[in-house]
């Protein structure tokens, strides 16, 4: 029996366990199981790996995505650049290799959003790939220059690092917007000065996520236009308050559900 699973703490409900259990059943993938491994302290990871028969791969969630790097033998170059791992592959020799599939999920989902609105054509870009290719696990490559498209990244936590790497690959300039005062970021009160030059707004904060449906990033929503894109990494609810307010001004909006599925499929591809 091949075993896959999720490490994190606390693990109350898990998208990954439901997704992979349903995938195994639906696609007739035999002799595979997906388990939850609640792991308050990462120092227990080597024992978990050693004691779990048939362990082939793990997903990693809060709060271990960054600290887990110290427990890995190898690191995919993309994950190394991002500084966070959400997928671990147990190699044939028993060593652990870390990857970041959020990067792939976000990049492909964003490309689909821009392509659907013909923005790649507008910005004179090559058509992006629609399939996740194995060679995408190679070091980051600059692929699709979008010279006129600039982005705001709202929040500067774990998921924001994967978003930055994806935007770097797509050559989309970005400005981080944070509650914290850093040299890399601006404050929310400064966004209104730049809304007309930044047409892609990406929410990587948990604001608006169930059950806090009435919360949203503090933005000048009246400045969204039909030329704007609002991408929310939040996937529950389907339409967040951030998306609703941007859509009211005619902006194109997208939630994080497709990204969630794409990163899960990328994890499966990595484990094969
Ligand atoms: N769709 C997907 O596949 C996918 C994948 C990964 C994550 N996500 C979602 O992305 C969101 C962020 O996840 P994460 O792992 O990056 O979390 P995280 O590491 O905690 O980072 C979230 C960041 O949001 C900002 N923030 C938090 N609370 C805020 C508040 N009250 N007001 C304004 N800003 C606030 C903070 O940035 P500053 O301090 O810099 O402002 C914080 O670092 C979650 O909702 C998660 O479910 C979705």
pLDDT in tens, 244-259: 999 999 999 999 999 9
Q: What is the mean pLDDT of residues 214-227?
A: 98
Domain-terminating residue out of 99, 133, 162: 99
Tell me what pLDDT residue 121 has: 52
Strand partners, 37: 7
Strand partners, 60: 7
pLDDT in tens, 96-150: 999 999 999 999 999 999 999 866 555 444 444 434 344 344 444 545 545 589 9
Domain, as residue range, for 214: 103-259
**Burial of 226 (C-beta count, 10 Å sphere; 0-12/13-18/19+):** exposed
**Residue tagged active-site, from 65, 97, 164, 254:** 65
One domain, residues 191 and 254: yes
- Tell me the C-alpha distance between 191 and 196, whole Å: 10
Tell me if 268 is assigned to some domain: no
Confidence category of residue 163, pLDDT binned at 50, 70, 90: very high
User: Cα of 234 to ligand 1 centre, how many Å?
Assistant: 9
Tell me what pLDDT residue 14 has: 81
Out of 126-135, 146-155, 166-175, 178-187, least confident range:
126-135
SS3 237: coil
Tell me what pLDDT residue 119 has: 61
Q: Give the CATH number, domain containing residue 23.
A: 3.40.50.10860
Tell me what pLDDT residue 107 has: 97
- Tell me the C-alpha distance between 201 and 30, whole Å: 42
Which DSSP string do the residues of 61-85 spell out, in sequence order? -TT-TTGGGGG-SEE-HHHHHHT--
- Tell me the C-alpha distance between 49 and 23, whole Å: 23
Confidence category of residue 158, pLDDT binned at 50, 70, 90: confident
Tell me what pLDDT residue 4 has: 98
User: Cα of 50 to ligand 1 centre, how many Å?
Assistant: 32
Q: Which atom of ligand 1 is nearest to the CA of 159?
A: 16
- Tell me the C-alpha distance between 173 and 123, whole Å: 13
Tell me what pLDDT residue 130 has: 39
Tell me what pLDDT residue 146 has: 55
Pocket test for ligand 1, best of 204, 215, 242, 265 (most atoms within 8 A of CB): 204
Strands, DSSP E only, in 87-140?
87-90, 96-99
User: Cα of 75 to ligand 1 centre, how many Å?
Assistant: 24
Q: How many domains is the chain partitioned into structurally?
A: 2
One domain, residues 93 and 117: no
Tell me what pLDDT residue 148 has: 84
Q: Give the CATH number, domain containing residue 161.
A: 3.40.50.720
Tell me what pLDDT residue 147 has: 59
Token pair of 12, please? 């109350």
Q: What is the DSSP letter of 238?
A: S
SS3 104: helix
Domain-terminating residue out of 99, 128, 145: 99
Pocket test for ligand 1, best of 84, 104, 159, 202 (most atoms within 8 A of CB): 159
164 is catalytic: no
Quote the percentage of the chain above a pLDDT of 70.
Answer: 89
Q: What is the DSSP letter of 221?
A: G
Q: What is the DSSP letter of 128?
A: P
- Tell me the C-alpha distance between 52 and 238, whole Å: 36
User: Cα of 61 to ligand 1 centre, how many Å?
Assistant: 13
Tell me what pLDDT residue 87 has: 98
């Amino acid at each position: 029996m091949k075993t896959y699973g999720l490490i994190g703490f606390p693990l109350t409900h898990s998208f990954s366990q439901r997704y992979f259990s349903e995938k195994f059943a639906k696609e007739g993938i035999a002799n595979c199981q997906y388990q939850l491994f609640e792991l308050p302290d990462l120092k227990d990871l080597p024992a978990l790996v050693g004691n779990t028969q048939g362990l082939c791969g793990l997903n990693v969630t809060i709060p271990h995505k960054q600290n887990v790097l110290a427990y890995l033998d190898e690191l995919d170059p993309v994950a190394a650049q991002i500084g966070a791992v959400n997928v671990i592959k147990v190699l044939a020799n028993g060593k652990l290799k870390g990857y970041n599939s959020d990067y792939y999920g976000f990049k492909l989902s964003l490309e689909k959003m821009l392509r659907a609105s013909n923005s790649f054509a507008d910005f004179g870009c090559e058509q992006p790939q629609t399939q996740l290719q194995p060679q995408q696990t190679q070091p980051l490559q600059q692929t699709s220059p979008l010279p006129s498209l600039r982005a705001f990244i709202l929040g500067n936590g774990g998921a924001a690092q994967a978003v930055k790497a994806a935007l770097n690959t797509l050559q989309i300039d970005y400005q981080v917007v944070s509650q914290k005062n850093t040299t890399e970021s601006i404050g929310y009160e400064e966004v209104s000065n730049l809304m007309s030059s930044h047409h892609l707004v990406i929410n990587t904060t948990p604001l608006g996520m169930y059950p806090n449906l009435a919360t949203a990033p503090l933005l000048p929503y009246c400045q969204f236009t039909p030329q704007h894109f609002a991408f929310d990494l939040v996937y529950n609810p389907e339409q967040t308050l951030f998306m609703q307010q941007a859509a009211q001004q005619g902006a194109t909006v997208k939630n994080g559900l497709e990204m969630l599925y794409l990163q899960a499929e990328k994890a499966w591809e990595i484990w094969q």
